[in-house]
A and B are shown apart, each in its own frame.
Chain A
Amino acid sequence: MSKERIQISPDLFDIMPAEYQDLVRRATYGKEDRGWKDIGMAKELIEEHSLCAGCPESMAFRYILASLPNPEDTVMVGSTGCTSLVFPHVAVHNIHSLFGNQNAVASGLKRALSLRFPGKIKDVVVLAGDGATVDIGLDMTLQAWFRQEKFTTICFDNELYANTGGQESGMMRKGFVAKMAPAGKMFEKVRLPEIARESGCHYVVNCTVSKPNLVEKVIKNAVYVAREIGPTYVQLYTPCILEIGKNSMEGLQEMRDAERPTERFAYKEYISDQAKELLAEIAAKEKEKKAAAKKQLAGKEA
Chain B
Amino acid sequence: MATSSVIGKKNKMGQTYTDPWYMMHEAPRTPSFFTGSEVIKEAIRRASCDVMIAYPITPQSEAAALIGELFVEGYVGDYFRGESEFAVMSECAGAAFGGARVFTTTAGPGTMRAMENFPMWAGARLPIQMIVTCRGINSPLSIQPDTLEISYLLNTGMLVWHAETAQDFFDWILIGYLVAEEPDVHLPLALCCDGFFVTHTKDVVQLTPADMCLPPYDPYRSPVPCMDMECPPVRMMRDPFVMKSNYISYATHASWQQEVWAAVERSRKHTIRWLDGLIEVDNGDADILIVSSGTAVSQGREAKALLEEEGIDVGIVKIKTLRPWPGEEIREATKHAKHIIVPEFNIIGWLAREIRATIPNSDRVFAGPHVGGGMTMPPEIIAADIKALLGIKTAALAGRGS
Query: Taking beta carbons and an 8 Å cutoff, which residues of A are in contact with B?
Result: 1, 5-6, 19-20, 47, 50, 72-75, 77, 84-85, 87-95, 97-98, 101, 104-117, 122, 139-140, 143, 147
Q: Is the CB–CB distance between B91 and A88 below 8 Å?
A: no
CA distance A101 to B117 in the complex (A): 10
CA distance A87 to B231 in the complex (A): 17
Q: Is the CB–CB distance between B243 and A112 below 8 Å?
A: no
A-B contact pairs, 30 of them (CB 8 A): A5-B232, A20-B235, A73-B229, A75-B227, A84-B242, A85-B240, A87-B240, A88-B235, A92-B229, A92-B233, A94-B227, A97-B90, A97-B120, A98-B116, A101-B90, A101-B117, A104-B90, A108-B93, A108-B94, A108-B96, A108-B100, A109-B97, A109-B98, A110-B98, A111-B80, A112-B95, A112-B97, A112-B100, A122-B228, A143-B82
Query: Taking beta carbons and an 8 Å cutoff, which residues of B are in contact with A?
Result: 50-51, 53, 77-78, 80, 82-84, 86-88, 90-100, 102, 116-117, 120, 124, 225, 227-233, 235-237, 239-240, 242-243
Contact of B94 among A72, A89, A93, A106 (CB under 8 A): A106
13 A-B pairs besides A97-B120, A116-B98, A116-B100 with CB distance below 8 A are A6-B232, A77-B94, A85-B240, A85-B242, A87-B240, A95-B227, A97-B97, A101-B87, A101-B117, A108-B98, A113-B228, A115-B51, A139-B83
Could you say which residues of chain A place their CB within 8 Å of the CB of B120?
97-98
Q: Is the CB–CB distance between A113 and B98 below 8 Å?
A: yes
CA distance A97 to B90 in the complex (A): 8
Min C-beta distance of B155 to chain A, whole Å: 18
CA distance A109 to B97 in the complex (A): 7
CA distance A88 to B97 in the complex (A): 16
* Interface secondary structure of B, over-half rule: loop
Could you say which residues of chain A place their CB within 8 Å of the CB of B87?
101, 104, 139-140, 143
Could you say which residues of chain A place their CB within 8 Å of the CB of B240?
50, 84-85, 87-88
CA distance A278 to B242 in the complex (A): 41
CA distance A92 to B228 in the complex (A): 10
Min C-beta distance of B187 to chain A, whole Å: 16
Could you say which residues of chain A place their CB within 8 Å of the CB of B227?
75, 93-95, 109
Q: Is the CB–CB distance between A105 and B235 below 8 Å?
A: no
Q: Is the CB–CB distance between A85 and B243 below 8 Å?
A: yes
Min C-beta distance of B234 to chain A, whole Å: 8
CA distance A47 to B231 in the complex (A): 19
Q: Which residue of A lies closest to B117 (CB)?
A: A98
Min C-beta distance of A129 to chain B, whole Å: 14
Q: Is the CB–CB distance between A75 and B90 below 8 Å?
A: no
Q: Is the CB–CB distance between A112 and B229 below 8 Å?
A: no
Could you say which residues of chain B place their CB within 8 Å of the CB of A90?
233, 235
Q: Is the CB–CB distance between B78 and A115 below 8 Å?
A: yes
CA distance A116 to B239 in the complex (A): 33
Contact of B78 among A89, A91, A111 (CB under 8 A): A111
Q: Is the CB–CB distance between B51 and A5 below 8 Å?
A: no
Could you say which residues of chain A place their CB within 8 Å of the CB of B97?
95, 97, 105, 108-109, 112
Could you say which residues of chain B place their CB within 8 Å of the CB of A147?
80
